[in-house]
Structure 1
Amino acid sequence: GLGGLALSVDTEAAYLAVFVADAVCFIAATLVLRGLPEVPPAPPIAAGEPRLAVLRDRPYALITLLNAVMYLNMPLLSLGLPLWIVHRTDAPAWLAAALLMVNMISVVLFQVRLARPVTGPSTAATAIRRAGLLMFAACAVYALSGAPIGTAAAIAVLLAAAVIQVFGEMMQGAGGWELSFALAPDGRHGQYQGFYGMAPQIARMLGPLLLTTMLLGWGTAGWLTLGAAFLLSGLAIGPVVRNAARLPATRVKVPA
């Protein structure tokens, strides 16, 4: 958001202000982290127990992979959508920054409310399933913006799609984080969180290639393919979570 504003102003002072604001945010985050309570260290690994048990937890690995697909919404917003707006729609280039601001403001206002119902693996799976449906709908609406509909209509369509996307993003974020903690055995949250943390990194690594190929190369078919990937990943979460709950390592119970 701030980067988009700096680009629109296009002055040295604006760019320097962004760097200063970024530095201030890091300082503020450090102060917040210093206020967190200390937790006792994890118990030592028992004799015969593998040091990296997460590598043998196949359901958890599959949940991480499915969420990696869902996390493609991140490079979609920051890379794929701006390129789509500039090259394939009648909308002005500045709209990319405006949609990013809409996303940021929506997360600030609604993320906590949408996350409240997510209280365990079952509700987390439900949230991710709904996220898949919303992301599919967002991709379908984004595809409509590529038609020759004029500037005003393109802006309206892109704004509607961005709103749908951010609600899907918030549901997926809430569900994914709940699963990443709830399905980790006691005392092994560090290695499990480290493994789950690969999901957004995989999306960021592969996203630029996948999104530019699908959206700019395939157009509407690319949007529908991306939406189908979101939808199928969201629908697959439920059965995988129920399977994970049957393993002794996870120690959670998920109602059928």
Structure 2
Amino acid sequence: MTIRILPPPGAPRRLAAAQLSNSVGDGAYYVCSALYFIRVAGLSPAQIGLGLTIAWAVGSVAGVPLGALADRRGPRGTSAALAVATAGSVLAFLLIRSFWGFLFAVLVYATAQCGLAASRQALLAGLVPPERRTGVLAHLQSMLNGGLALGAALGGLALAADTERAYLAVFVLDAVSFLVCAAVLLRLPAVPPVEGREAGEPRLAVLRDRPYALVTLLNAILLLRMPLLSLAVPLWIVQRTQAPGWLVSALFVLNTVAVMLFQVRMARPVGDLDSARRAVRVSGLVMAASCAVFAVSALPGAGWAAAALLVAGAVLQVDAEMRQSAGSWQIGFSLAPADRIGQYQGFFGTGVPVARTAGPLVLTSLILVWGIPGWLLLGAVLLAASYGMGPAVRRAESARSSGGAGGRAAVRAS
């Protein structure tokens, strides 16, 4: 079996290089940022949590107009500018020593990150034919995980040193990684901006596209799986099972390596909306099975048995993750008008910051408070959302096909 991580030469490979560069910095940042803000900046955990929640909430809203800006001004320049803005916000973290300074910097950081994600999707759409986009995105996801793993290892060195200088070096690395990302993006071919709006068309048409909003909502529910391995499962292992604590790290590595090696292969069958619906539907079944396996790991028994069940649950979880990712990429692009990719991707991408802000509260409430029934309820919710995606996509597809000439499918509220 041949495993190919690098995408084909040309624009896809340069997009992957940009993805890899900033993900290395982000990996180091994610590992070290909390301790830096507490030990160096002098913030409390409550202040950090509040600031991040506000920032990602604002960022999720800002992603739509920034995506629309990429449509109007051209996604290459917009993406590069937002990468530079992200680098600037990271450098600002080096200077903050108060909550208000932190809040300002993290607001810029989250807003630029959400806008960068939307504009980079618009850039990809302008450079890659529709039938190849899901495959290229799978390559980018593999590069993302590889970069995060490398960055996390570098961040681990800073944690081992546990000095202010080491933490500052991590933030400088993250800022430089985004500057490199901007430089790589500027070397891509320019994608021309879209023409002006038609008479009477709203500036942010996606906000009136109810079928697309339903698809986005269901996708956001499915993305609640994101904090599982970083928060819910580690706490579950420590508080509810007899498995060894080191298994937390092993499961995270398992997930990262699996996505890096197999995401491209899992995305290969997804090339249209029918295959995307099937991928999401199957992902829901696999995710429900994963939740059930995680649940029974808390039953009385030997530690090795609990560990085996947790590994099995993690394997099912990453399988579901890769299927759902491939299906959602295809759906998000296929249902967006060709001349509104930026704003539509900005809206579709709100599921990620929503999962980052609401996911921890939802998952800890379900799993740690309710225990085994909470796992089963989570699996049922994700299964229902995955099966609901099929009818929602068909409705949005029908509305898109009747939405007018020129590829505009923004459905006006009636």
TM-score (norm 1): 0.89
Match of 2:368 among 216, 219, 231: 216
Distance verdict in 2 for CA 1:44–1:167, change over 3 Å:
same
1:138 maps to: 290
* Superposition CA RMSD, Å: 2.6
Q: 1:188 to 1:10 in 2, by over 3 A?
A: closer
Distance 2:324 2:196 in 1: 33
Any idea what SS the aligned residue of 1:207 has? helix
Q: Whole-Å Cα distance in 2 between the matches of residues 138 and 14 of structure 1?
A: 40
2:335 to 183, 192, 199: 183
Which of 13, 19, 43 is equivalent to 2:170?
19
Q: State which of 374, 381, 384 in structure 2 corresponds to 1:229.
A: 381
Tell me by how many angstroms 1:59 deviates: 1.2
The aligned residue for residue 57 of structure 1 is: 209
**Alignment CA distance shift 1:14-1:233 (3 Å):** farther
8 Å CA contact 1:5–1:97 kept in 2: the answer is no
Pick from 308, 311, 317 the counterpart of residue 156 of structure 1. Answer: 308
| Higher alpha-carbon deviation: 223-232 or 120-129 | 120-129
Matched, 1:114 2:275: no
Task: Give secondary structure in 2 for the equivalent of 1:70.
Answer: helix
Fraction of identical pairs, as percent: 49
Superposed displacement of residue 118, structure 1: 1.0
Q: Deviations over 1:99-119 (max 9, x none)?
A: 111001000111011111111
Q: Give deviations 1:217-248, integer Å, cap 9, x for gaps.
A: 00000000000011000101111111111112
1:48-84: per-residue Cα shift (whole Å, max 9, x none)? 1111111111111011111111101111121111111
Aligned to 1:198: 350
Q: 1:47 to 1:138 in 2, by over 3 A?
A: same
Secondary structure at the counterpart of residue 228 of structure 1: helix
Q: CA deviation at 1:9?
A: 10
What is the rounded CA distance, in whole Å, between the counterparts of 2:254 and 2:198 in structure 1? 49
- How far the C-alpha of 1:4 sits from its partner, in A, is 8.5
Aligned residue runs from structure 1 range 33-72, under 5 A? 33-72=185-224
In 2, the alpha carbon distance for the partners of 1:91 and 1:125 equals 36
Q: Which of 250, 262, 265 pairs up with 1:98?
A: 250
Match of 1:174 among 326, 346, 366: 326
Q: Where does residue 403 of structure 2 map in the other structure?
A: 249
Contact 1:134 1:168 survives alignment (8 Å): yes
Query: Partners of 1:38 and 1:22 in 2: how far apart?
Result: 28
Listed as ranges, the gaps of 5+ residues in structure 1 are none
Residues 48 and 70 (structure 1), Cα distance of their counterparts in 2 relative to 1, 3 Å cut: same
Q: Unaligned stretches of 5+ in structure 2? A: 1-148, 409-414
- Residue 11 of structure 1 aligns with an amino acid whose one-letter code is A
Q: 1:62 to 1:113 in 2, by over 3 A?
A: same
RCO comparison, higher one (Cα < 8 Å, 6+): 1
Query: How much does 1:161 deviate?
Result: 0.5
Q: More displaced, 93-102 or 231-240?
A: 93-102
Counterpart of 1:19 in structure 2: which amino acid?
Answer: V
SS in 2 for 1:118: coil
Q: 1:183 to 1:167 in 2, by over 3 A?
A: same
TM-score (norm: length of structure 2): 0.56
Aligned residue-pair number = 252
How much does 1:11 deviate? 2.3
1:125-180: CA deviations, max 9, x gaps? 11111111111000000001111222211111101100100010011111111111
8 A Cα contact 1:6 1:14, kept in partner:
no
Q: How far off its partner does 1:34 sit?
A: 4.0
Counterpart-to-counterpart distance in 1, 2:274 and 2:352: 22
Q: Which runs of 4+ in 1 moved over 2 A?
A: 1-11, 13-37, 248-252
Closer, same or farther in 2 for the Cα pair 1:44/1:10, shift >3 Å?
Answer: closer
SS in 1 for 2:270: coil
- 1: CA distance between counterparts of 2:241 and 2:258? 24
Separation in 1, partners of 2:240, 2:158: 24
CA contact (8 A) 1:139 1:226 kept: yes
CA, structure 1 residues 177+6, in 2 after alignment: closer, same or farther (shift >3 Å)?
Answer: same
